[in-house]
Chain A
Amino acid sequence: MEKVTFDSVQVGQALPSLSHTVSQETFWKNAVASFDYNPVHCDPEWVATAQPFGIPQTVAHGMMTMSFMVSVAANWAFPAMLKITRMQSKFVRPVPAGTTVTCTGVISEKHVISPGKNFVVLELKAENQNNEILGLCKTTVVFPD
């Protein structure tokens, strides 16, 4: 991957996107990975009646949807030694099993402070197969130069 410098990046630049189709097994594995065994993600029987989100299906961990979006940023930032310093997310729709989550990102702001403190803001987004927004994430990425 070519070197990414603060001068070279442009507002409006799109980051490579990614896609994952999630299943109940994905939710179980993420529960183990995060220690979040909340039944809304793990227990189809319980959720059928308890329905915290008003739907009878289990849903993805919000933190997993956020992780998918942030992976778009990390894929871009890590090889270039850029630093992800802040992430602010919003979860817009519940994500049931069977959803294909596509995450995209765009550079939305360029903050010119001083070398070592310059940063960009990325607007990341997760959508389902019907192009409905599942979540949004605003991420700050600091450049070392």
Chain B
Amino acid sequence: MNRINFERFFETEKQKIFGTDFFADAEDYEAWDEIDFESQEDIPGEQTFEVKAEDLKYYAAGVLDDNPFMTDEEYARNSPYGGLIPHPVFLTQITFWCIGVKGRGNWIRTPGARNPGQEVEIYEPFRVGEIIHIKMRPHDRWIKRKKYYLNYKIDFYNQDNVKKACWIVELVLPKSKEDIRKFIKGIRGVEV
């Protein structure tokens, strides 16, 4: 996938660091039939996310939203919000960053995964300057109409352990490592 040039779109610091090849480590992605539901422990992400103005602004632009509360620092500073506020679905950027590549939760990167819909609760909007860490755990796993669903519950906390949001991240996945390998090779590994 390195044949696609994303660099021309990069503007933020994190974008220059985060890897763009979702195939490279796909052999290590958690497969649907391998998820451990036994442990009741919270799992941390691979890294934390420091919220910067450029992150919020780029996300809004990435979803074609020019809302000044999300994109115009001066406008937002002079508003009752006192500063930029994120697009409510901004936590997508936080999630992919924090989950990283090799750690638990990396099934969200699986080539061949399909997004059926999501459920998010926001307690307090993320603000510039906060350092976010996540705690996640397997939540549910099921088969419906020949599709294999998995979700994890992810809680988002700031540096003071204030809970900011909760996302039950859900995808339809290839069933097993074998099916993921088909997708890595460019062959369909799920029923449609």
Residues of A within 8 A of B (CB): 20, 26, 28-40, 42-43, 45-46, 49-54, 61-64, 66-68, 70-71, 73-75, 78-79, 81, 83-91, 135-136
Contact = CB atoms under 8 A, between A and B. Distances in A.
Interface centre among A39, A42, A136 (most CB of B within 10 A): A39
Given A49-B187, A63-B92, A84-B122, A32 B111 contact: no
Contacts, number: 164
Nearest to A86: B121
Contacts of B85: 78
Given A52-B113, A78-B69, A39 B1 contact: yes
User: Which size bracket describes the interface of B in this complex?
Assistant: 35 or more
30 contacts: A20-B64, A31-B6, A32-B15, A32-B62, A34-B92, A35-B14, A35-B96, A36-B92, A39-B23, A39-B111, A40-B112, A45-B3, A49-B187, A50-B111, A50-B183, A53-B114, A54-B192, A62-B116, A63-B89, A63-B115, A64-B62, A66-B89, A70-B88, A71-B67, A74-B67, A74-B87, A75-B67, A81-B81, A86-B121, A91-B117
A87 B64 CA distance: 19
Given A26-B64, A32-B15, A33-B61, A38 B111 contact: yes
Contact of A52 (B14, B22, B190): B190
B188 interface: yes
A122 B192 CA distance: 31
B63 A43 contact: no
A29 B9 contact: yes
A30 B63 contact: yes
B22 A39 contact: yes
Contacts of A36: 92, 96, 109
B123 interface: yes
A9 to B, nearest CB: 19
